[in-house]
Amino acid sequence: MMKPVYRQAWFTVQYAIVLCALGLYAVSGAAAAPNIPSSHQNPEFSGSWANDRGSVVHLYPSKGLLSGVYQTNLGQPDKGQKFPLTGFVQGDLIAFTVNFAGYGSMTSWAGQLSEDSDGPYIRTLWHLTRDVEDEMEDANLWRSITAGASDFRPLANPPLTNR
């Protein structure tokens, strides 16, 4: 029977060997996910994208942070009006929020860059919330939130924007 001190030392050695093996495995690239298109390893979100509802987003990522403008094709705002957006990108993931200032609503999108036979697209889920008057909140707060899905495709000839 092994003495407790030797048993603890042997366990420490085994633990170190496993950690070294996992480290070498990760460094070797064997741990990389297979079949990831090169466009998804360093995705390019920069540029103008249009969604399936005709709205256009102009994205400017920098070091994981995202800025840009959003031009909606829906609702009350003038179709040419630009609303600032802010968000994040990480790998092929994206999340951003637009404040439709003056219209009492905000929308947030979260999604992932993908690709199909038509080319790259960003598949998103979104939540829009509208302001509810304080005295109506108890009855209508949940009705103020709308959710949906949108796909954004890159625009070949995007409209000019003055960020």
Residue range(s) defining the domain that contains residue 46: 38-154
Q: Answer yes or no: do 81 and 123 share one domain.
A: yes
Backbone angles phi, psi at 79, to 5 degrees: -60, -20
Q: Where are the alpha helices (DSSP H) in 101-158?
A: 137-140
> What is the end-to-end Cα distance of the chain in Å, rounded?
74
Q: Which two tokens stand for residue 149?
A: 């899905």
Rounded Cα gap, residues 35 and 5, in angstroms: 47
Confidence (pTM): 0.69
Look at the chain and report how many structural domains it folds into.
2
Q: Answer yes or no: do 18 and 75 share one domain.
A: no
Q: Answer yes or no: do 47 and 127 share one domain.
A: yes
Q: Answer yes or no: do 76 and 100 share one domain.
A: yes
Q: Answer yes or no: do 68 and 21 share one domain.
A: no
Q: Which two tokens stand for residue 155?
A: 């625009």
Q: Give the tens place of pLDDT for each residue, 88-129.
A: 999 999 999 999 988 899 999 999 999 999 999 999 999 999
Q: Give the tens place of pLDDT for each residue, 58-76.
A: 999 999 999 999 998 886 6
Q: Answer yes or no: do 111 and 72 share one domain.
A: yes
Q: Which two tokens stand for residue 42?
A: 């360093």
Q: Answer yes or no: do 22 and 76 share one domain.
A: no
The answer to whether 128 and 100 are in contact (CB under 8 A) is no
Q: Is residue 61 part of a domain?
A: yes
